[in-house]
């Protein structure tokens, strides 16, 4: 047994003999901050929900008839006297999913909720702990197999009917994983029984089954907690980070001088002025470095303003030192959604990029350009689609990479970036062929 696994077993044994009680975990009712809205308030909110969606969505009844929509909404109204806030929310989330587009959702932004002190990701049909509070870092890399004796498979089946921002099976896996640790959502939909703590069952990398009792974090505690992760925020072992160019919270820039490669990890796009300044500075940097290869990493990007991506492309296109035949790469994953998906395909068309990684979580032809409103009493946020885009010539369920590179469970556990390493090998091989005179400069 490796030293790493032995250490993991020691930490897990410590967890099993202690129940960690963190301050402010259980400071309010397990459903979260349950505001005392009257039935009439909720009825006014639901009427507003319907009116605003009908007035603003580009084609609200493209997937379900108006009669079906009204019947579902009326059923929720009739049940209001017997429902808690979270029960209303989950029923409304289910109706909103039936509308049938990934940008018409109830995203739960700003909603007070109780969460587990772990984050899981969906990897090849399994739910792997990739982030945790320090007290539970021994669970990093383990597979979550059940909560309160309910299997994650059964929980996922139920969550699949309500989770937001879903357009295909790939984004479904991503969004279910994000919701698995939202205890308020699980209780509200009746998936788990109400408890002050939740018992999770985990399968470690060496096949050990462990059961861990976890307290619940309030939204405030969740936001203020420190976190540990098995996945690096930036691939520093592969590229050097260029902090002077990076835009904190939006774009990280890296470089590998020996291959004249520039790397852009885009999680979202900043505002127009910031994007202009960034693109201009990046352009000057690439001219000075005589950059030959560009890697645009959209694997952690859920979207933003797609036109900022087009703005970036207009600056990149002016760098003549780039190998525009075979030196531009875009990385995608199941998380690549909305504007990130659109930009991935646009970079493929306009910059002659090759796409590496996993199919996107968004469909190329569908409803886009999200806007939102709030319900007047509950302050619940509702998002909706304003436009319909056609990005592909033929309908497809996702943007499919030119080179599919699947991330494995072991990749996650060991922080091995299989996709980026494959692209870097491609760049190195191409450079070697050039230096050997097999490819003309």
For 362-376, how does the pLDDT look when each residue is reduced to its tens digit (9 = 90+)?
999 999 999 999 999
What average pLDDT does this structure show over 397-411? 97
In this predicted structure, the answer to whether residue 349 has a pLDDT above a threshold of 90 is yes
Who has greater pLDDT, 397 or 12?
Answer: 397
More confident position, 434 or 28: 434
Looking at the predicted structure, is the pLDDT value of residue 13 above 60? no
For the cut 90, the answer to whether the pLDDT of residue 164 exceeds it is yes
Question: Is pLDDT above 90 for 405?
Answer: yes
- Please list, residue by residue across 336-360, b when 16 or more beta carbons sit within 10 angstroms of its beta carbon and e when fewer do: bbbbbbbbbbbbbeebebbbbbbbb
Question: Of the given ranges (13-17, 315-319, 404-408), which has the lowest mean pLDDT?
Answer: 13-17
State the pLDDT confidence band at 28, using cuts at 50, 70 and 90: very low
Please give the pLDDT value at position 435: 78
- Asked if pLDDT for residue 314 goes beyond 70, the answer is yes
Q: Tell me the whole-structure pTM to 2 decimals.
A: 0.90
Measuring CA to CA, which residue among 234, 232, 237, 257 is closest to residue 246? 234
Q: Which pLDDT tens digit goes with each residue over 171-206?
A: 999 999 999 999 999 999 999 876 778 999 999 999
Model confidence band, residue 433 (pLDDT cutoffs 50, 70, 90) = confident
How confident is the model at residue 395, as a pLDDT? 85
What does pLDDT average to over the chain?
Answer: 91
HEC per residue, 56-79: HCCCCCCCCCHHHHHHHHHHHHHH
pLDDT of residue 437: 62
CA distance 136 to 116: 10
**255: DSSP letter:** E
Q: Tens digits of per-residue pLDDT, 32-53?
A: 444 569 999 999 999 999 999 9
pLDDT at 204: 95
Report whether 163 contacts 175 (CB < 8 A).
yes
Token pair 């960034």 is found at 278
Residue 424 has pLDDT above 70, yes or no: yes
Domains of the chain: 1-230+369-396 (2.30.42.10), 240-362+398-435 (3.90.226.10)
Comparing CA positions, the residue from 180, 177, 178, 199 lying closest to residue 191 is 180
% of the chain beyond a pLDDT of 70: 90
Six token digits for residue 121: 């990701």
**Average pLDDT score over residue span 272-300:** 98
| Banded pLDDT at 24 (limits 50, 70, 90) | very low
Q: What is the Cα–Cα distance from 373 to 383, expressed in whole angstroms?
A: 7
What is the percent of the chain where pLDDT is above 90?
A: 85
Summarised one tens digit per residue, pLDDT across range 200-255 is 999 999 999 999 999 999 999 999 989 999 999 999 999 999 999 999 999 999 99
Name every residue whose Cβ is closer than 8 Å to that of residue 310 and which is 6 or more positions away in sequence.
343, 346
Residue 29 has pLDDT above 80, yes or no: no
d(CA 91, CA 79): 10
The helix/strand/coil state of 13 is helix
How would residue 431 be classed by pLDDT, with cut points 50, 70 and 90?
A: confident
- φ/ψ bin of 228: left (φ > 0), alpha (ψ from -120 to 50), beta (otherwise): beta
* 286 to 281, 315, 316, 426: CA distances (angstroms): 9, 10, 9, 20
């Amino acid at each position: 047994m490796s030293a790493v696994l032995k250490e993991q077993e020691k930490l897990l044994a410590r967890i099993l003999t202690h129940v960690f009680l963190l301050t402010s975990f259980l400071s309010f009712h397990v459903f979260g901050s349950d505001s005392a809205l009257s039935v009439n308030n909720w009825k006014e909110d639901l009427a507003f929900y319907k009116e605003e969606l009908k007035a603003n969505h580009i084609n609200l009844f493209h997937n379900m008839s108006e009669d079906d929509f009204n019947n579902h909404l009326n059923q929720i109204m009739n049940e209001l006297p017997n429902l808690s806030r979270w029960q209303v929310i989950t029923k409304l989330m289910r109706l909103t999913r039936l509308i049938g587009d990934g940008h018409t959702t109830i995203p739960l932004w700003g909603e007070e909720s109780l969460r587990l002190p772990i984050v899981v990701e969906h990897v090849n049909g399994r739910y792997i702990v990739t982030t945790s509070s320090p007290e539970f870092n021994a669970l990093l890399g383990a597979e979550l197999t059940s909560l309160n004796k309910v299997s994650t498979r059964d929980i996922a089946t139920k969550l699949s009917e309500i989770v937001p921002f879903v357009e295909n099976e790939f984004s479904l896996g991503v969004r279910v994983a994000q919701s698995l640790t939202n205890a308020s959502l699980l209780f509200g939909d009746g998936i788990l029984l109400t408890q002050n703590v939740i018992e999770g069952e985990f399968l470690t990398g060496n096949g050990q089954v462990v059961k861990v009792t976890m307290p619940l974090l309030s939204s405030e505690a969740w936001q203020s907690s420190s976190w540990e992760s098995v996945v690096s925020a930036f691939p520093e072992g592969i590229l050097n980070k260029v902090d002077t160019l990076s835009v904190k919270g939006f774009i990280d820039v890296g470089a590998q001088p020996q291959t004249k490669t520039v790397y852009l990890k885009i999680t979202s796009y900043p505002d127009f002025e910031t994007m202009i300044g960034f693109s201009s500075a990046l352009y000057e940097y690439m001219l000075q470095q005589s950059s030959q290869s560009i890697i645009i990493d959209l694997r952690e990007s859920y979207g933003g303003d797609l036109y900022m991506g087009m703005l970036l492309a207009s600056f990149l296109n002016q760098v003549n030192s780039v190998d525009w035949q075979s030196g531009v790469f875009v990385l995608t994953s199941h998380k690549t959604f909305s504007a990130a998906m659109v930009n991935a395909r646009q970079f493929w068309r306009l910059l002659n990029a090759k796409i590496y990684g996993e199919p996107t979580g968004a469909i190329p032809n569908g409803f886009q350009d999200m806007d939102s409103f709030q319900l007047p009493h509950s302050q619940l946020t509702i998002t909706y689609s304003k436009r319909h885009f056609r990005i592909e010539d033929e309908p497809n369920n996702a943007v499919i990479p030119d080179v599919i590179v699947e991330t494995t469970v072991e990749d996650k556990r060991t922080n091995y970036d299989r996709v980026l390493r494959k692209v870097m090998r491609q760049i190195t091989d191409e450079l070697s062929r050039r230096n050997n005179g097999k490819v003309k400069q």
